Amino acid sequence: MAFNFMGTFSAEQVLSLLDFARKQLPDIDARVAYLQGQINRVGWIQYTLDEERRPESYVIEPENSVLAKYVRSYQFYGGDLLDLSVRSRGQWISYAQEEPDLDSTKVSTAGSLQAAAQVEDVENLHLDDAIPAIAVSKVKEFIRPSIQAKRERYEFKIKKALDLADQYLEEIILLVRRASDGDESLEDLATQIQYYLNEGEFPSAGLKPRL
């Protein structure tokens, strides 16, 4: 039968709804198994957080999931999943990958480069490649919008995949709760509803409240 969930129930309709819900309980295990399979297909991200509760590394499971493929494409076009994770939390922050190292025998990868006059090891001089870098930048100029568009498209797909996995998980939690014997299980809710019907405290079911 069709139920108008936003309208008024009669007491008979309420009991009929409970009877219908009980008949669906045997199907829950199959539904949960299906949802778990969908989560495995879509994939999920497990973050490792630093002391300030910011993501510093991550693992994507399973490795052949849809999400893993999206992330690989996202990285191919210059995306960083750690930056994406920060942006999704509304924290527009850029992190340095490591602390500056001023050891003259090492090539610096963060911070300011030492001037050539300060470096004694001639083999490790930081050469000035500004001119060829400009040429490379000009090569990238006309393809940059295309790369950005592809990266943003995969960013959108990653977020949609995560949202979908969250929806599947929320449904699993709801199904398990309704089929359990604890609070907010189907039988617990049925007991509450039956109490209100018996005590006349369910006016919308066509019963007058007890004065």
Q: Is residue 189 part of a domain?
A: yes
Tokens of 209: 């409240």
d(CA 183, CA 176): 11
Strand partners, 90: none
Contact 151, 79 (CB under 8 A): yes
Q: Is residue 114 part of a domain?
A: no
Q: Is residue 117 part of a domain?
A: no
Q: Is residue 135 part of a domain?
A: yes
Quote the pTM value. 0.66
Residue 124 in this model has a pLDDT that exceeds 90: no
Tokens of 11: 């007491």
Q: Is residue 152 part of a domain?
A: yes
For Cα atoms 144, 97, 153, give the angle at the middle one, nearest 5 degrees. Answer: 35
Q: Which is higher by pLDDT, 209 or 176? A: 176
Q: Is residue 201 part of a domain?
A: yes
Give the confidence band of 210 by pLDDT, cuts at 50, 70, 90. Answer: very low
Q: Is residue 98 part of a domain?
A: no
Give whole-number Cα distances, 195 to 14, 86, 87, 179, 207, in Å.
Answer: 12, 48, 48, 20, 13
Q: Is residue 2 part of a domain?
A: no
Q: What percent of the chain has pLDDT over 90?
A: 41
The residue range of the domain holding 36 is: 11-90+131-205
Structural domains counted in the chain: 1
